[in-house]
Structure formats: structure tokens, C-alpha cells
Amino acid sequence: MIKRILTLLFVIVLSNFITVLYAQNKIADTLQGKGLDEVVITATKTIRKIKDVPAPVTVIKGSEIQKMGSTRLSDVLAELTGMQLVQNTVGYPGIQMQGLSSEYVLILIDGEPVIGRIFNVIDLRRITVNNIDRIEIIKGPSSSLFGSEALGGVINIITKNGKTEKVHGTARGVYQKYDVFDLSVDAGEQKKKVGWYVYAGRQSGNGYYTKENKDSISKSVPPYAAYTVNGKISYQLNEKQKLAFSGKFYNENMSDQVLVQDVNGVNRLATQSQQHQDYSFTPSYSYDISDRQKLQIHNYTTVFNNDLTIRYQDNHALFSESNFRQFLNRTELQYDWRVGTAHMLTVGAGDAIATVRATNYVDGNIFNQLFVYGQDQFPLLKNVHVIAGFRFDHHNQYKDRFSPKLAVEWKLNRQLTVYGNIASGYKAPAFDQLLLNFTNPVVGYTVLGANVAEEKLKEMQAQGLIQAVLIEPGDHVLKAESSFSLNAGAKYNPLPGAYFSLNVFYNNINNLIDLEPIAIKTNGNNVYTYFNHNKVFTGGVEFQADYTIVPGLQVSAGYQYLQAKDRDVLDQIKKGLIYYRDPETQTDHKVTTAMYGGLYNRSKHSGNIKIEYSNLPNHFDVSLRCIYRGRYGSGMDVNGDLILDDDREYVPGYALLNLTIRKKINSFTLEAGCNNLTGVINKFDASVIPYNWFLGATFRF
């Protein structure tokens, strides 16, 4: 009995001690701005300090996002070192990391994958930042924990929870150029047993024409209205067990005018309406079996819908209609076990079921996936720490994947840590690469998904549509695109408030999926299907420095050097097989390796300089950021070789200057700012808005 009381006392003392430490850390944290002692969960699926993670990690806190005055995730990510927003063919911004495009970056919300890629991109404007507690970004592959898509990195958006025992919340309104209106309200509470949080937000905009397209029929960015609602509730069953439930709903409507050609070849005006919807439910259960063992189970169900309708404006008759509906249900169990004093084991297993129904897709396919993963974190020597892990994915639609990872970290002293890691990442074939059955109504070519190619080609042969077969598709099974990656770097914290990090990266990607013709149709056009063949690499260096000159004044600088090239193109150039056609003389010349600029949309040089000033006595803060994007390939080909090799194929580099000022008056915070103060125009990217000013106010209760 006495022993028990003693233990209890000890626990109380210890927990108080921890609270004190935590509070101290918090103070230190506000002084430092960015702290290496901050914790991050995404890197290892366990709570670890940033300085103890042997990988490049960035954590953006809610308070930092507020200082920027941003409303959408795309705005926040665009200002980070080594990250580029790149628009896809329909203008949705996706994120590029370590030179890998957005289909190789996994986006998580509270640890669960966001679905609904359109032309490879999860539209980052879909995600509001008003309900975000923090964003954790891990660069380099994390497929050993998260599976598919985690090649270039993982972005985990951690949403807010109820914080205190009293109901608290915020209401915010922001008005921006082009009639963008963002209104949101949230509230939360954390009692002893029950905690809850709710958020509701609406954003709408009138759309706009860029200067280049001011006479166009369609706006460069169409008018839209989007609603986000999310809620969370948690219940502490007892000291050890907790149940939680969270749900999310998103609806966006867009509408614009387009010019279409009817069956008689007459151009007519039409209205294009588009609706995006996604919702999810996540019940979860966690059990702290002991202070050494923890069990977590969560189930995630999510649906994404995208409907596109085009109707003639004169008689409202339907021109075209298409839809895409994706469903995912996944259950995951994770067990953490601290073995002895050295080992921290994490094992997990789960299954995922996905379906997709869409226009031009072969129906009735169910994607079934089973996975297991394991990870051990242990000290190898006194100051050398190792993390070793793997994940195995079994899938019924493409080949199984094994993704290992090994990371080593060496603490040279209290200030300096160096690390290195080797890992493999992968990306599952996209739904269209497996299931598409599409014939271009204008040109007449056909694209078939790899899993339906054999069957559909036979059907076309039976219908007499095929003139000759070039490659028999057979029962060829598509492999996942896979990577082998190296990251090595150092984290240096010479004095409080000064934080430097350096990371060298190299990603080698194999089995990139691309189209190849397999047959010739009687109309002279080809039938294509998907094969694994391309190889690309990206490599570079990233540097970040954060320095607090005096409390309240923080300066930071970031830089990335990047090379990203297609190996097959390089090989062909070396063999003298690639020619360009001089547009003036219409003569062909050999492309040399020195002329080859690599993959489109990659800036060799990019970086940023930021100054943040907080005046606590007078309750105001100023944030000035300069974001530089070096020249990059626009995706435009001027000389007929479809590779980047001519100066005219580049977008010149530019720097954006963004300013935000906030002033706190009692419970109100007023904000005003202007992004792109110098009025830069990028004719290839409509999201670069000149003089994009905004005004806003937040009320806290």
C-alpha cells in the first residue's frame, strides 16, 4: 500500500516536473520562433523531437500561418524552402518536393491520406488552413510507414483540438482581391473526459482573367464557392483508453463559360459547372496498455466526387457530362512497445478497400490492399541512433511492394547532429493507368488502362477497328513506380534562437509509367496502353537558416539547388537520336547533353528570405517574405523535340514580395497585407496574382 502511494506520489511529482519543463520549453519556443525541441509525429509515427529525427523535417505552427495571413494550404506551402507549387493542365496547384511532382507527395490530414486526384493533383486550395494546428513536412521517402505516394515526401496536416476546459474559439473574416471572401468560425473545449472541436468555413471568389487572357472566353481562374465543415469528439473511457471520432465535409462549386464545338462543327458558348465533394469519417481507439506499450486502431472512410457538366448557353441542352467517384475504407492497427531501455518498436497492419467509378473507366473493379509495417528505433552506440523499418504492401491490381528504410543519426555534441538515410518509396499505378477506356472524340486515338487492355483490344479487333497489333498486351501487370533515395544532412543549433540545417538529397525513380502504342486502328490512329519504362532522377541540396536577432525579430533564409532529369532522354541524346528543329530555318540539328534542361517545372535555384517582427508591448507583428523561383521549363516546346532545350522554353525567374501586418486590440486581431507587392506576372501560372491585397479580422472567445 505504502509502495503504491509512493509510486503515485512519484508519478504526480514527475508529471508536475514535466509540466514545468513543458512550460519552460514553451517560453523558449516563443523566443526562438522555431525550435529543435518541437515534436513531430509523422517521421516515425511516434512522438519525437525534430532534432532526433534523422531526416529533413519542417514544422509550420498555426501561429506562423496566422502571421502570413493565409487562408488556403497552397499559399502556405508556396513560401517554404524546396517546395514549388505547380499547376496541372486544369490549373490545380500541386506541390513539388525535392524535384518530384505532386503525384509523388503524400498529403495526410490527421494521419489519413487525402484522396481525389484530378490530373494527378490534389487541389491544395481545397484545404483550408483556418482549422490547422500545425503542418508537419517530412522530405524524402516515407513509404516504409505510409505506403504509396510517399516518395518525395509527406505533408501531414494536424487539425486543431479543444485545448482548455472553457469553451474557446475564433471567428475570422478575410476579404481579398477579386472578391475572394473567406469566413470561418471554430470552437472547442477539453474537459477531463470529453473533448470536442468544430469548424465551419466558407470561401468564395469571383474568379479572374489574367492580363494575358483578358479577352478570353473562359476566366483564368473560374468563380467558385467552397464550404468546409469538420468536427472532432474524444472521450476518455478511463485513464488508459480513449475513443475518438472525427468527420469532415467539403463541397465546392465552380462555374465558367467555355466555347465548344457542336456536332455540326459550329462553335457555341456553353456553361461549364463543376462540383467537388469529399467527406470522411474516422473513428479511432487508443489504449495505453502500460507506460511501455500503446495500441491504436483507426478506421477511415472517405469519398471523393467530381462532376463536370457542360451545357449550351442558348438552349441549355447538354453538351457533355462526366464524373469521377472514388471511395476508400482503410483500417489500421498500430502497436508501440518500448523494449528494455534501448528499443522502441512499432508494428502495424491494416487493409484498404478502394473503388472507383468514372466516365471512361471500366467499371466494377475493387482495389484490395493489405499491409504490414515494422520499425525499430534503438541506440547503436552512445551518441549514434538507428531507425530501421520496412513496409510490405500486397495489392490485387498491381505487383506487391516491399519498402525498406534505414536511418542513422549521430549526435556529435549538444549543438550538432548529422544524419543519413537510405529508403525506398513507391507510387501505386493511378486508377486511369489501370482502368481507362477512352477514345478521343476529335482525334480518334484510344487509351486503355493496363488491366483492361487485353480484353478491350480483343473487343476492338472483333469489331474490325484494328488494322495491326504492334505489341500484344497479354496479361502484363503494371508495377508500382519505385524510388531509391538518399538523404544526408546536418542540424546545427549553436545558440538559442539560431538554427541551421543542410540536406543533400538524391532520388532515383524507376518504372515510371508512360503510354506506348500497342495497335494501329483502321482510322490510322493508335491504341495506347501503359507500360513501366522511364527512369528519372532528382538531386540537390537544401539549406535553411533561422536566426532570432533579438526577441521578437527573426530572420530566416532558405535555398534549394536542384537537378532533375530523364535518364532515357539523356541516353538517347548521348546516342545522337534526339534532334530539334530550328523554327526559323526548319532544319534539324542534334541536341547535346549540355542543351538538355531536364524535366519541366523544375527551378535549378530557388529560395526565400523572411523577416518576422513581433512587438509584444504594442501587440502588433509584421511579416515580410521574399520568395524566389529561378527560371524553369514552362512545358512549352518551341522546336519539335518535346524536351526542354531552348531558352524560349523557360519561364524567367522571379521574386515575389509578400507583406502581412497584424494588430491585436483586446479580443480582436486585425490583419492587412499584400502578396506580390511588385506586381510580378507569370503568364504560365495564373495563381501568381499581382498586388494580391487582403484585409481581415479575427475575434477570439
Please, what is the minimum distance in Å from the beta carbon of residue 600 to another protein? 8
Residue 338 has a CB neighbour count (10 Å cut-off) of 16
Amino acid, single-letter form, for residue 575: K
Q: How many residues does the chain have?
A: 701
Contacting positions for another protein (CB under 8 A): 89, 259, 267, 442-445, 467-468, 470, 517, 520, 523-526, 577-581, 583, 586-590, 634-642, 648
Q: How many Å is the Cα radius of gyration of the chain? A: 26
Closest to another protein by CB, 313 or 383: 313
| Residue whose C-alpha cell reads 542543351 in the numeric block | 595
3-state secondary structure 125-175: HHCECCCEEEEEEEECCCHHHHCCCCCCEEEEEEECCCCCCCCEEEEEEEE
Please, what is the minimum distance in Å from the beta carbon of residue 565 to another protein? 17
Measured distance CA(217)–CA(272) in Å, rounded: 12
Please, what is the minimum distance in Å from the beta carbon of residue 151 to another protein? 20
Closest to another protein by CB, 249 or 445: 445
Please, what is the minimum distance in Å from the beta carbon of residue 91 to another protein? 12
User: What is the DSSP secondary-structure string of 383-399?
Assistant: SEEEEEEEEEEEESSS-
Question: Residue 562 forms beta bridges with which residues?
Answer: 540
Please, what is the minimum distance in Å from the beta carbon of residue 584 to another protein? 9
Closest to another protein by CB, 344 or 638: 638
Strands 105-109 and 153-159: parallel
| Residue whose C-alpha cell reads 511588385 in the numeric block | 678
Please, what is the minimum distance in Å from the beta carbon of residue 579 to another protein? 3
Closest to another protein by CB, 154 or 564: 564
- CA neighbours closer than 13 Å in the CB half-sphere of residue 275: 9
Angle (nearest 5°) at CA 644 between 595 and 138 = 110
Please, what is the minimum distance in Å from the beta carbon of residue 96 to another protein? 16
Contact 273, 253 (CB under 8 A): yes
Please, what is the minimum distance in Å from the beta carbon of residue 580 to another protein? 5
Please, what is the minimum distance in Å from the beta carbon of residue 453 to another protein? 17
Please, what is the minimum distance in Å from the beta carbon of residue 256 to another protein? 16
Q: Give how far the C-alpha of residue 3 lies from the chain's centroid of Cα atoms, to the nearest Å.
A: 51
Closest to another protein by CB, 321 or 588: 588
Closest to another protein by CB, 1 or 442: 442
Please, what is the minimum distance in Å from the beta carbon of residue 527 to another protein? 11
Please, what is the minimum distance in Å from the beta carbon of residue 381 to another protein? 50
Residue 34 has a CB neighbour count (10 Å cut-off) of 20
Closest to another protein by CB, 76 or 573: 573
Closest to another protein by CB, 463 or 587: 587
CA-CA-CA-CA torsion sign (640, 643, 646, 649): positive
Closest to another protein by CB, 80 or 578: 578
Angle (nearest 5°) at CA 627 between 622 and 630 = 170
Contact partners, residue 6, CB within 8 Å, separation at least 6: none
Measured distance CA(309)–CA(256) in Å, rounded: 11
Please, what is the minimum distance in Å from the beta carbon of residue 564 to another protein? 16
Closest to another protein by CB, 179 or 514: 514
Closest CA to 680 of 658, 647, 659, 650: 658
Measured distance CA(534)–CA(669) in Å, rounded: 52
Closest to another protein by CB, 505 or 580: 580
Contact 106, 146 (CB under 8 A): yes
Closest to another protein by CB, 499 or 600: 600
Q: Please list the alpha-helical segments (H only) found in 350-489.
A: 431-435, 453-462
Closest to another protein by CB, 71 or 101: 101
Closest CA to 152 of 558, 514, 560, 530: 560
Amino acid, single-letter form, for residue 233: I
Phi first, then psi, for residue 68 (nearest 5°) are: -80, -20
Closest to another protein by CB, 69 or 633: 633
Angle (nearest 5°) at CA 83 between 428 and 429 = 10
Contact 37, 28 (CB under 8 A): yes
Please, what is the minimum distance in Å from the beta carbon of residue 641 to another protein? 5
Closest to another protein by CB, 203 or 274: 274
Please, what is the minimum distance in Å from the beta carbon of residue 442 to another protein? 6
Q: Which three cell numbers stand for residue 182?
A: 473567406
Contact 306, 267 (CB under 8 A): no
Q: What end-to-end distance do the CA atoms of the chain give, in Å?
A: 46
